[in-house]
Structure 1
Amino acid sequence: MSYHPEQPGSRPMPPNYSQASGSQQPYASQGQQYSQPQTHSGQPGSGGQSGYGSQRAYGAQPGYSAQPGYGMPQMHNPAMFDSRSLPEQAYGPGSEQFWMAHEPDRTTAMWTHLGSLIFGFMPLIMFLVKKDESPFVREHSRQGLNAMITNTIVTFGAFIVFGFVGFILALVTFGIGFVVMYAAFIVPLVYCIFYIIAAVAANKGEGYNFPLTIDFVK
């Protein structure tokens, strides 16, 4: 057994525990890790999801009224209303579920059509006044305005045609054939019926598409 004397000025070193116990971190750094609160949002693998309180509420989802076929699309600005995008279920019986019009709008649309029987320009006034306030009133007044323009043009043309025919027949029949000219009044009478039907539909909250009418105003 050999003896190795220590060199002068040297002293024994403490055991190397770091090599024997592995690559352990000091207790101070471990305490920092355990002291950090672990939440659901900070766990690995959770994808950084926020807590249940930050999930979007069901009330923030768009309502069924914004889906096509279930109701009137929600519009923040009624002035952006475009009648050309309306579906077929916006007119006729059962369309009140599409419009969901309030009672004041129904009354206004009804008197728009009834006023056309007394004041022919009533749809024009209501269209200019209400077109940016209520889509329901706008569509009814637009339909009534197009019917008014079409009625005026067709009635004027009918008086010219039947007046000419009546004048020719009057020459042959010694004035009796002149009564044919009154056949031109059939045109405004037909549109009067359309106005009444439209007023009834407006009172029910339904949309009405005037027949025999040209869409001059979109």
Structure 2
Amino acid sequence: MLDNQHKNIATFIHLSTFSRFLIPLGNYIGPIVLWMVNKDKSEFINAHGKQAINFQISILLYTLIIGTISIPFFIFKVFNGLDFIDFNGFHDFHIDIGEPSPLLYITGGLGILAIIGFILELVFIVIASLKARDGELYEYPLTIKFLK
């Protein structure tokens, strides 16, 4: 049977990911520290700690993938008129905002996807915290299980 202390610890493991707004890398440090200190107290805490850490690592991986895909599109748009062989080509360098290219649309679409992903991340963290508070196990969607 779960006692309130175990439910509270599991809830705080999930909520500690919000510490990233105050501490750099707090979304990794907070859950890892709380999980490492308390994982032997119960299987419930251990399961929630692994879920929170796996979710944060998965979000980092997805963010890196989206960034890796979108940055080249942005670079190609900005340096479109620049000749890298002829260094006197800076007089031809310009950015035409009046005529957006398809690359800009792709980059903007990926940016909107990143914003939606951020909002969903916050929603999933709150849901996981509420489930932990109620004594239920929660599995984040689209999470890669790094810690099993």
Q: Name the stretch that deviates more: 179-188 or 146-155.
A: 179-188
Query: What's the counterpart of residue 69 of structure 2?
Result: 161
Instruction: Answer yes or no: is 1:116 the counterpart of 2:17.
Output: yes
Which consecutive unaligned segments of at least 5 residues does structure 1 have? 1-99
Query: What's the counterpart of residue 124 of structure 2?
Result: 194
Percent sequence identity over aligned pairs: 25
Query: 2:48, 2:138 within 8 Å by CA — same for their partners in 1?
Result: yes
Query: What's the counterpart of residue 23 of structure 2?
Result: none
For 2:15, what is the secondary structure of its paired residue? helix
Q: TM-score, normalised by structure 1?
A: 0.49
Tell me which amino acid in the other structure corresponds to 1:186. I
Q: Name the stretch that deviates more: 123-132 or 207-216.
A: 123-132
Query: What's the counterpart of residue 129 of structure 1?
Result: 37
The alpha-carbon distance between structure 1 residues 206 and 192, as it changes in their structure 2 partners (threshold 3 A), is same
Q: Distance in 2 between matches of 1:102 and 1:169?
A: 57
Q: TM-score, normalised by structure 2?
A: 0.69
| Pairwise CA distance, 1:136 | 0.9
Q: Distance in 2 between matches of 1:210 and 1:145?
A: 11
Q: Distance in 2 between matches of 1:166 and 1:152?
A: 21
Q: Distance in 2 between matches of 1:125 and 1:102?
A: 21
Equivalences for 1:172-183 in 2 at 5 Å?
174=96, 177=104, 180=108, 182-183=111-112
Query: 1:155, 1:188 within 8 Å by CA — same for their partners in 2?
Result: no
Which runs of 4 or more aligned residues in structure 1 lie more than 4 Å from their structure 2 counterparts after TM superposition? 169-173
**With CA pairs under 8 Å and 6+ residues apart, which has the higher RCO, 1 or 2?**
2
Q: Distance in 2 between matches of 1:186 and 1:163?
A: 18
Equivalences for 1:1-218 in 2 at 5 Å?
100-118=1-19, 119-121=26-28, 122-169=30-77, 171=80, 174=96, 177=104, 180=108, 182-183=111-112, 184-218=114-148
The alpha-carbon distance between structure 1 residues 115 and 109, as it changes in their structure 2 partners (threshold 3 A), is same
Tell me which amino acid in the other structure corresponds to 1:134. S
Q: Distance in 2 between matches of 1:112 and 1:105?
A: 11
Which consecutive unaligned segments of at least 5 residues does structure 2 have? 20-25, 82-94
Aligned length: 119
Tell me which amino acid in the other structure corresponds to 2:15. L
Give the RMSD, CA atoms, in angstroms: 2.4
| Pairwise CA distance, 1:158 | 1.0
Q: Max radius of gyration: which structure?
A: 1
Q: Distance in 2 between matches of 1:159 and 1:143?
A: 24
| Pairwise CA distance, 1:152 | 0.8
Q: Distance in 1 between matches of 2:73 and 2:18?
A: 28
Query: 1:154, 1:187 within 8 Å by CA — same for their partners in 2?
Result: no
| Pairwise CA distance, 1:157 | 1.4
